Amino acid sequence: MASIDASTSVLLEAEWVPADADEAMVRVREYERLARRLHAARLGLQEAIGRSGVHREDGHASAKVMVRFAANLSNAEALRRERSVRVMRDLPVVAAGHAEGRIGTPQVERIGRVVANPRVADQLIEVDAQIARAAAMLPYPDFDAAMSDWERLADEDGAGDRAERNHANRDFTMPRNLDGSHRFDGGGGSGTGQVIEDIWQRQVDREWEADWADARRRLGDAATSEDLARTDAQRRYDAMATCFTRGDLATYGVAARTCTDLVIDEVTFERHLAKLFGTDPGPDPRLATWWDDLADTLSPDPDPDDDNEPDRDQAPDGGLVGFRCGTIDGRPLDPTEVVVATLVGHIRRVVTRADGVVVNMGRKARCFTGARQLAVRLAHTSCVWPGCDVPAGQCQSDHLDAYHGPRRGRTDPGNGAPECGRHNRKKEQGFTIERDRWGRWHTYRPDGTEIT
């Protein structure tokens, strides 16, 4: 590994300037071949971890989870690697081509998407050599199209089976953009889809009628389409939101309708509440010391007993750290929208301290049963076990200091942590979890060493 690292440093430090396009093309392909071979070695490492089972020692559910944590990967990249590991295991000719640098990483990942289809995986494995040849020789767009067409032919069971499959694979997702806004994606069978479309379109028409009636009230017969309060796009979105809201209300009634929990820190809540009432709070005071405060949370206090050093147990400037504004699972939301929603919507405000502990929970008329459990989940956006990304909303709440333990742990948010079922049970095997003075979580093995 040291020699490989040293050779890589030589490449990085080389100040090479291509003499012409041909030389540049040669160098690009040389670099690409090295990258492919390294990628194959990386996949082999993940396969070896999975075979050995060492990932289980620290509570990781699979080699994929362990690698994702250790390499700090996104979920999408971890999934691509897991599928590529299967390609390298089940298609030896493709694996050899990739290890030699003849087959690219995108081609291996594209094959991995098809291998993940259980209806055609066995058929694909049987044509390993042909797939390898195509992957090495075809331009990627042509190879991608060929894989798509082959999968469609191999998985073609007739119109009736296709319709049944579309229904069985029905799905609806609401992915978030980086700024916290939503997108919508999904699909299903044609019959149910047509019913949904008819209901939605009817509500779109109602939204248009409401806007038109409003314009006529304001302007009389002089009103035109230019005077409508919303655009067509806005009415389409609002129609969808109305369908969801009315469905929830019709199914569960007012008392048990869905209550949305929005988490916001105290400083942010007060600043944006002031804005709503016409007061300019100025720039957020945390900006001036933001990076210094962050460095403090990352660097342990070398001597907590030294009176000459600042006490890092105390947040500077009266607690102006710990920005949070989002959902229970940590998805970001606009602070102004959150404050407005707490005033006019079926929303419960949850205010947190700098270390994430809940200090205030507003309540609606709905039952408050289970609020302590919810407050524990709000202390972190996912399971606190290192490498686990089970959302906090799907976690259990458990004591840090056991209720019947020697310290007689209290049942309050400050003594709780959100843990998925798997890792909550790990605590029965001698693992312990602690939260430090900056709100960060640490997990220790039975021998006292920390999982890092």
Q: What is the pLDDT of residue 158?
A: 35
Q: What is the pLDDT of residue 365?
A: 28
Residues 44 and 90 occupy one common structural domain: yes
Residue 359: phi and psi, rounded to 5, are -115, -15
Q: What is the pLDDT of residue 310?
A: 47
Ranges 33-47, 211-225, 417-431: which has the least confidence: 417-431
Residues 294 and 202 occupy one common structural domain: no
Residue at 378 is within a domain: yes
User: From CA 56, how far away is CA 68, in angstroms rounded?
Assistant: 14
Q: What is the pLDDT of residue 320?
A: 40
- Residue 116 pLDDT exceeds 70: yes
Share of the chain above pLDDT 70, in %: 73
Binned at pLDDT 50, 70 and 90, residue 333 comes out as: confident
Find the mean pLDDT for residues 370-394.
Answer: 72
Residues 265 and 387 occupy one common structural domain: yes
Domain holding 217, by residue range, is 185-252
Q: What is the pLDDT of residue 28?
A: 93
Residue at 175 is within a domain: no
Residues 149 and 28 occupy one common structural domain: yes
Residues 61 and 87 occupy one common structural domain: yes
Q: What is the DSSP secondary structure assignment for residue 187, as one 8-state letter?
A: E
Q: Which helix (H) or strand (E) holds 3?
A: helix 2-13
Residue at 44 is within a domain: yes
CA 451 to centroid of chain Cα atoms: 22
Ranges 46-60, 139-153, 306-320, 386-400: which has the least confidence: 306-320
Taking only the tens place, the pLDDT of each residue in 78-115 is 999 999 999 999 999 999 999 999 999 999 999 999 99
Q: What is the pLDDT of residue 307?
A: 53
Give how far Cα 158 sits from Cα of 117, 120, 162, 164, 192, Å. Answer: 18, 15, 6, 10, 20
CB-based burial label for 135 (10 Å; 0-12, 13-18, 19+): buried
Q: Taking phi first (over 0 means left), then psi (-120 to 50 degrees means alpha), and beta for anything else, what does residue 71 get?
A: alpha
Give how far Cα 186 sits from Cα of 3, 70, 202, 247, 375, Å. Answer: 49, 32, 20, 19, 32
Find the mean pLDDT for residues 193-211.
Answer: 87
Residues 408 and 332 occupy one common structural domain: yes
Residue at 22 is within a domain: yes
State the total domains in the chain. Answer: 3
Give the angle 70-71-77 at the CA atoms, nearest 5°. 125
Residue at 161 is within a domain: no
**How do strand 347-352 and strand 260-265 relate by DSSP bridges?**
parallel
Residues 35 and 140 occupy one common structural domain: yes
Taking only the tens place, the pLDDT of each residue in 388-442 is 888 877 777 766 665 445 555 454 555 677 888 888 778 768 888 887 777 778 8
Residues 438 and 289 occupy one common structural domain: yes
Q: Please tell me which residue, 383 or 51, carries the higher pLDDT value.
A: 51
- Residue 349 pLDDT exceeds 60: no
CA 184 to centroid of chain Cα atoms: 15
- Residue 241 pLDDT exceeds 80: yes
Highest mean pLDDT among 22-31, 164-173, 367-376: 22-31
| Reduced DSSP (H G I as helix, E B as strand, rest coil) percent helix, strand, coil of the chain, to 5 | 55, 10, 35
The number of beta carbons lying within 10 Å of the beta carbon of residue 256 is 12
**Contacts for 435 with CB less than 8 Å, ≥ 6 apart:** 355, 379, 400, 417, 441, 442
Residue at 403 is within a domain: yes
Residues 208 and 341 occupy one common structural domain: no
Dihedral sign, Cα of residue 48, residue 49, residue 50, residue 54: positive
User: From CA 100, how far away is CA 118, in angstroms rounded?
Assistant: 28
Residues 124 and 237 occupy one common structural domain: no
Mean pLDDT (the chain) is 79
Look at residues 54, 135, 49, 55 and name the one whose alpha carbon lies nearest to residue 87. 135
Tokens matching residue 31: 């670099």
Residue at 334 is within a domain: yes
- Residue 55 pLDDT exceeds 90: yes
Ranges 35-39, 311-315, 369-373, 374-378: which has the least confidence: 311-315
Residue at 201 is within a domain: yes
Residues 273 and 242 occupy one common structural domain: no
Q: What is the pLDDT of residue 348?
A: 57
Residues 292 and 378 occupy one common structural domain: yes
Binned at pLDDT 50, 70 and 90, residue 369 comes out as: very low
Taking only the tens place, the pLDDT of each residue in 181-195 is 888 888 887 667 777
